[in-house]
Amino acid sequence: MRGATRAGHVLAVGLLVCVVSWTGAVAAPQLDDREALRVSQAAIGRTLGGYEFTASTGDPLALEQLRGRPVVLSLVYTSCYHVCSGLTLRLRETIKVAHDALGEGSFAVVTVGFDTPNDTPDRMRQYARERGANLADWHFASTDAATIERLARDVGFTYFASTKGFDHITQTTILDRTGRVVLQVYGEDFAPPLVVEPLKKLVWGRNLDRGTLEGLVNTVRLFCTIYDPSSGRYRFDYSLIVNILAGGLALGIAAAGILAALRNVR
């Protein structure tokens, strides 16, 4: 009888432990899409500064040393083999399109690992190599936890640890030549023009002064370089220039006719 009573006590204690463990469990945080989007959009207009990284080569990399040209910035973690990997692969193809249209050296790309204990320079170098991301002016970088927290806050990047690694917003941030956030592109399967079109304006739209040769050339480039969905590349559309010249010629002929008619009336 005593054995039965003791067994009952053990069973009761076991059940109590299970109940306490179950009721004491904290639900894993969930990514609030609306709040993440609000935070991301609120970052537009901020100017980034004072960021020091370690490039995958082991060399120091400061965000300020890229000033003077636009920067495409993405945050990933190297253990993410689906979303982050897909984003990097899409970015690789988009950068190729942008280089073809705008020229290498016209902008820079920075991919930063936000899983600071694991995203070391060696891991970032391996991550880039496995995805064929060996393109000009594309920097893969690591940094410390405090810098990542500050960077994420400044660019509106929401992330937190979860049972599967990290939950995070998938965004690509575009900075102008002064380091100011001008656009956020969402998802890992975006169309290239979503990134290339704003880069066009930032690269060629700096000087549209038609009184100078550079301004005139930039104006023609900006309006006559268009995306061809069939080829997935940008091309220079000469028909736009022809139409503009034809329109100007037609206006000139019409104006000449009007002036001649006025002279005859007089």
Helix 213-224 and helix 193-204, axial crossing angle in degrees, nearest 10: 170
Q: What is the pLDDT of residue 211?
A: 54
> Can you give the residue ranges of every domain in the chain?
33-206, 237-265
pLDDT of 92-148, one tens digit each? 999 999 999 999 999 999 999 999 999 999 999 999 999 999 999 999 999 999 999
- Please state the pTM of the whole predicted model: 0.75
Query: b/e per residue, 102-137, with b = 16+ CB within 10 A?
Result: beeebbbbbbbbbbbeebbbebbbebbeebebeeeb
The pLDDT of residue 15 is: 32
Question: Over the stretch 169-215, which tens digit does the pLDDT of each residue have?
Answer: 999 999 999 999 999 999 999 999 999 999 999 998 764 444 555 55
For residue 78, give the nearest of 165, 188, 153 by alpha carbon: 165
Phi, psi of 135 (to 5 degrees): -95, 160
CATH number of 33-206: 3.40.30.10
